[in-house]
Amino acid sequence: MDIKFNKNEDHNKLLVSDLKRRFAKVKLGGGEKRIEKHHNAGKLTARERINFLLDNSEKAIEIAAFAGDGMYEEHGGCPSGGVVVKIGEVSGKLCIVVANDATVKAGAWFPITGKKNLRAQELSIENNLPIIYLVDSAGVYLPMQDEIFPDKEHFGRIFRNNAVMSSMGITQISAIMGSCVAGGAYLPIMSDEAMIVDKTGSIFLAGSYLVKAAIGESIDNETLGGATTHCEISGVTDYKALDDKDALTRIKNIMGKIGDFDKAGFNRIKSSKPTEDPKDIYGILPAKRSDQYDMKDIIKRLVDNSEFEEYKEAYGQTLITAYARIDGWAVGIVANQRKIVKTKNGEMQFGGVIYSDSADKATRFIANCNQKKIPLVFLQDVTGFMVGSKSEHGGIIKDGAKMVNAVSNSVVPKFTIVIGNSYGAGNYAMCGKAYDPRLIVAWPSAELAVMSGNSAAKVLLQIETASLKKQGKEITEEVEKELYDRIKARYDEQVSPYYAASRIWTDAIIDPLDTRKWISTGINAANHAPIQKKFNLGIIQV
C-alpha cells in the first residue's frame, strides 16, 4: 500500500467515524431525560418498539435517519424528523415500519415529519410492501402549522394515501401506543386493522380541554377516547393490548398469517462475497473530490466474486456500463469513471464528465436492462456533462437528453449510490432524487449541488464584487479573500451529504461497507411489485 492509499484510508475512516457519532446522537431522539420519562410511563421508545417488532433489527435499513438534522433549531430541533422509519422483516414478511418518536416534541409533526411519512408511504406503494404505523403523536406542531397543514404534499396527503393504498390491497396495520389527536386520528382508523394500548393509548378528534372549551362538556381523556371506550363502546379499534409488547406481539401474529406475494421475477442466485476486500474502498476513494481514481476498483469491491461484464468497454469510457451480481441479484451498473481516459482517436477525456459517446452508451445499456428485466444501480461521482464548442457542435445536449429520457422512462427499479460528486445535470442523468430511484443513499464523501463549492464560490464572488464596485466600494485582495471564504463556507455547508439527508434528498448516509445490504434489500423490496408498464423512450432525437 502506498502513502496516498493510507492518507485516503485515514480520511474516509474519519468520515465514517463522524457518521457513526452523528447517528448515535440522532438515536437519542429528544434526549436521555425524555427517554427516561417515557420509560417511567411504561412505554418503549420508537426505536425499542421497532426493534422488538422486527425479526432481525441488524438486517433492517433505516430511511431518512438524518431528516431534520440542523433544521428548526429555533424550535429546539427535530431529530430524525420526530419519526423512525425502517424496512425489515416482521414474521418473515418484508415491510415498512413507521414509529412516531414521542420524546421529540411529544411526537408532533414538523414539515419534515410530513415529508418523511410521505416517503415511507411512497416506498410502500412503489414496492407493494405492507406498512405498520406505531402511533404516538400530539399532532401538527402548531407554531409551524402553515408549513404542514394545507398543501398537496402536507399532512392531509397521508390520509389520502391511506385510502389509495387500501384500494391497492396494501396491508396497513396501526397500533395506537400514545396520543392520537385531531386529524392524526384518521391514520390508524384508515388502516386495515388497529389496536390500542390500554391506559397509555388514546384517540379522539378533540381532547378533553378542547371539548370543554367547545361544548362545555367535562370529561377525562381516558373516558373520552381510551382503549376501553374504543374497543367496547365505539368499536373504532379492533384490539385492546395490555402494554407495548402485547400490541407488538399481536402485530407479529397478524403479519405471520399474510399470504405470499406476486413476484416481479428479478434474477437471483446464491450470494457470493467480493473476492477483493471491500475495506479497500477507504483507501481507493480519494480524500479530495477533484482527484482521479479508477471506479472499476470500487465496483470490484461491491459485486459478487468481484466479477462484472462490461458493455461497450472501449466506447464512451467516462461511463462504465456493466452486468454484475450483488448479493446474488442480477444488476446493471451505470457508473462514472473517475480517471482520465484516452480514446481511440488519441483524445483525452476527463474522469467524472459525461461526454456524448458515454451518454449514448448509457442510453443503450439502460434500454437493454429494461428489456431483460434487470434492476439498475447508478454509482454517482459526476461533475456534469462536457461543455465547450466541440461538445456543443457534437450534440452533447441531444445525447444528454437521450440519456435523461432513458433514465426517466425506465420501468425496472433503480438504485442510486452517491459516492462522490453529484453536480448539476450529472445528478439528473445519473438518476438523482428527481428521477424516482427506489432508494438513493450517499456515502459520507458525497457532495450534492449545482457545482462544486470552489467553482460556485468563484462565480458568486464575481457577482458580489461587481455589485460592490457599482456602489463605489474598493475591493482589495483582503476584502476579496474574506468574501470568497465566507461564500465558500456557506456553499460548502449546503453541498454536505448531511444537508441533503436532512431534507430527504437522499434516503440515508451509509458506511460504504453497507452498500451491498442496501441494494439487496432494495431489490428484495422491489421484487414484491411486478412491473406493470413497458419501457418506451417516447419521442427522442436520434
Q: Which residues contact 485 (CB under 8 A, 6 or more apart)?
A: none
Report, as an integer, the average pLDDT of 314-324.
96
Confidence of residue 3 (pLDDT cuts 50, 70, 90): very high
Rounded distance, CA 116 to CA 205, Å? 23
Please give the angle made by the CA atoms of 427, 273 and 443, to the nearest 5 degrees.
30
Q: How does DSSP classify residue 260?
A: P
Three cell numbers, residue 424: 448539476
- Look at 56 and 459; give whichever has higher pLDDT: 56
User: In which residue are the cell numbers 448531511 written?
Assistant: 498
Residue 177, H or E segment: strand 172-181
- Domains 31-256 and 279-446+506-527 are alike in CATH topology: yes
Class of domain 279-446+506-527: alpha beta
- What is the rounded CA–CA span in Å between residue 512 and residue 336? 17
Q: Using CB atoms within 10 Å of the CB of residue 157, give its burial: 0 to 12 exposed, 13 to 18 middle, 19+ buried.
A: middle
Percent of the chain having pLDDT more than 90?
A: 70
Whole-number pLDDT of residue 1: 60
As a whole number of angstroms, the distance between CA 74 and CA 3 comes to 45
Distances 296 to 1, 305, 319, 322, 329 between C-alpha atoms, Å? 18, 14, 11, 10, 19
Pairing of strands 353-354, 341-342: unpaired
DSSP secondary structure code for residue 268 in this structure: B
The total of other beta-carbon atoms located within 10 Å of residue 330's CB is 19
Average of per-residue pLDDT across 515-534: 96
H-helix or E-strand containing 20?
A: helix 3-26
pLDDT digit string, tens, across residues 230-275: 888 998 899 999 999 999 999 999 999 999 999 999 999 999 999 9
pLDDT digit string (tens) for 142-162?
A: 788 888 888 888 888 999 999
CATH of 31-256, one of 3.40.710.10, 3.30.930.10, 3.90.226.10, 3.90.550.10: 3.90.226.10
Report whether pLDDT(493) > 90: no
pLDDT single digits (tens) 478-489 = 877 887 888 778
Summarize the confidence of residues 291-304 as an average pLDDT.
97
Go through the chain and tell me how many residues it has.
542
Range with the poorest average pLDDT among 117-131, 189-203, 253-267, 381-395: 381-395
Closest C-alpha among 89, 529, 523 to residue 268? 523
Domain range list for the chain? 31-256, 279-446+506-527, 452-495
Task: Reply yes or no on whether the pLDDT at 222 is more than 90.
Answer: no
> In 3D, which of 440, 496, 522 has the Cα closest to residue 19?
496
Rounded to whole angstroms, the Cα distance separating 428 from 392 reads: 19
Predicted pLDDT of residue 393: 52
> Which residues have a Cβ under 8 Å from the Cβ of 58 and sit 6 or more positions away?
none
CA neighbor of 29 nearest in space, from 97, 91, 100, 88? 100
Find the radius of gyration of the CA atoms of the chain. 25
Grid cell in block for residue 90: 416482521
- pLDDT at residue 227, rounded to an integer: 85
Average pLDDT (72-98) is: 96
Chain centre distance of CA 446:
14
C-alpha cell read off for 161: 394515501
Strands, E, within 152-293: which ranges? 172-181, 193-197, 202-204, 239-241
The residue among 29, 21, 84 whose CA lies nearest residue 54 is: 84
The pLDDT-based confidence of 28 (bands split at 50, 70, 90) is: very high
pLDDT over 60 (residue 542): no
Contact 265, 425 (CB under 8 A): no
pLDDT at 152: 83
Grid cell of 469 as nine digits: 464596485
- Whole-number Å distance between alpha carbons of 93 and 256: 7
Q: What share of the chain is helix, strand, coil (3-state, %, to 5)?
A: 45, 20, 35
Please give the helix or strand (H or E) that residue 194 lies within, else none: strand 193-197
Taking the mean position of all CA atoms in its chain, how far away is CA 98? 14
- Confidence band of 347 (pLDDT split at 50, 70, 90): confident
